[in-house]
Amino acid sequence: MATLTKELTSGRPLPLILNFTLPLLMGNLLQQTYSLVDAVIVGRFLGIDALASVGASTSVVFLILGFCNGCCGGFGIPVAQKFGARDYGEMRRYVFVSLRLAAVMSVAVAAVTSFWCGDILRIMQTPGNIFPGAYAYLLVTFLGIPCTFYYNLLACVIRALGDSRTPFWFLLFSTVLNIVLDLFCILVLGWGVAGAAIATVFSQGVSAALCYRYMMRRFEVLRGDASERRFSGKLARRLLSIGVPMGLQFSITAVGSIMLQSANNALGTACVAAFTAAVRIKMFFMCPFESLGIAMATYGGQNYGAGKPERVWQGVKASSLMMTIYWVFTFCVLMTCAQPLARLFVDGSETEILEDTALFLHVSVSFFPVLGLLCILRYTIQGVGFTNLAMLSGVSEMIARILVSLFAVPAFGYIAVCFGDSTAWVFADLFLIPAFAFVYRRLLRMKRQPLG
């Protein structure tokens, strides 16, 4: 029995986006769950230094994997557009070209980053007592980039077809496997911090393989003849022209995060541990914003392909309403429960780390509406094909974080680190709001014109 795809080009935007977002949200929560589990198991069973080792490389992982995941999201945009236009033959050609590009790009990125792994950590001023653990964790993560790349690409293709549920089930399987392997590698085999990374990479690899097999067997719309599986330089160039700017947008954003984390690393192991715990918790509560954004990329791409730009603006308004309601809930939770959540990672006697973690979370949640708007506008702009503008919003974030790192952190210490992300979100929105207005006007002028 074939799996059904879903068009988002007709019907009320709010329920459509909500129904599409919920499986994405569950999937993102699962991803953050095994990120949290890694940190909790490492912090509880291996100690504060091991937890700091994992955290010391967080921004670098975001830099590299963010580029890969951004490329995957970009590769899914032409698929969504052609699906919305019901040009299924061209859609299949894009899918098979993207799979070949993924093979070359992922292996190349894995080779280069693994070679420079140690130098990257030294540039980031990683404290000597946590350097070996940080190096082991980062090296394994880099070597596993092909697994991560392929899983995210396959998930993006399936979502482009309007199915956000299937990737969730494979991610659920991956999360459960990751938790079991975390405990086995760390507690039974004694592989330490490297064991946490091995568990994650292996889980994603298995999930990617199963996802590909399922997708090709169950999605009738992806079945084509041999001519549609041939490599096309023209389609590859279009995929790269969309995917690379999206990847660079994540990487450019991460450069600022690396600067901020480097400044924080210089403040000592306690600040690194607090930052690690706070970022893990923050990322968990940020999931709905990211999920809404991803949903808007598919929604925007399909409606652009169908020649219905007015629905894009309707979707932005519906998403903003959902984002605001969620923020009110999150604000209440994090303002009252930040320290109890931090105690998942460290013992209650570590009062300095607990207080620093809570401070970071209180500042971050106060600016979550700014972040929510950022996600909705950026992904919508990407979904309709204006990826270069989305990349420039990443430049705005990078500049903000660099300024905070170079001037505010040396002057004010950890409190400045707490305001680093929120300052970057404000800078990005100052660019994205007029950028979206420009894009929407362009879409209205291009209404119902053939796609290039």
Length of the chain in terms of residues written: 452
Q: What angle do CA 415, 400, 274 make, to 5 degrees?
A: 30
Number of Cβ atoms within 10 Å of the Cβ of 426: 17
More confident residue, 238 or 32: 238
Q: Residue 11's closest CA among 357, 308, 251?
A: 308
Q: Chain-wide mean pLDDT for the chain?
A: 84
pLDDT mean over 426-438: 96
Residue 6 placed within a domain: no
Q: Is residue 266 part of a domain?
A: yes
Residue 452, pLDDT score: 43
Q: Which two tokens stand for residue 211?
A: 């996802």
Boundaries of domain holding 364: 13-445
Stronger pLDDT, 445 or 126, i.e. the higher one: 445
In 75-130, beta strands by DSSP E: none
Q: What is the pLDDT of residue 168?
A: 78
Give domain status of residue 101, yes or no.
yes
Does residue 2 carry a pLDDT above 50?
no
Contact 278, 357 (CB under 8 A): yes
Query: What letter would DSSP give residue 406?
Result: I
The answer to whether residue 154 is domain-embedded is yes
2 lies in some domain = no
Average pLDDT of the residues in 341-367: 90
Segment 253-291, tens digit of pLDDT: 777 877 887 788 788 878 888 888 898 889 889 989 988
Least confident of 40-44, 175-179, 375-379: 40-44
pLDDT in tens, 376-407: 999 999 888 887 888 888 889 989 999 999 99
Predicted local confidence at residue 5, as pLDDT: 58
450 belongs to a structural domain: no
- H, E, C per residue of 270-335: HHHHHHHHHHHHHHHHHHHHHHHHHHHHHHHHHHHHCCCCHHHHHHHHHHHHHHHHHHHHHHHHHH
Residue 391 lies in a domain: yes
pLDDT band at 1 (very low <50, low <70, confident <90, very high): very low
Mean pLDDT on 408-427: 94
- Residue 7 located in a structural domain: no
Higher pLDDT, 315 or 350: 315
Predicted pLDDT at 59: 66
Report how many domains make up the chain: 1
d(CA 230, CA 207): 26
pLDDT in tens, 316-336: 999 999 999 999 999 999 999
Rounded to two decimals, the pTM is 0.73
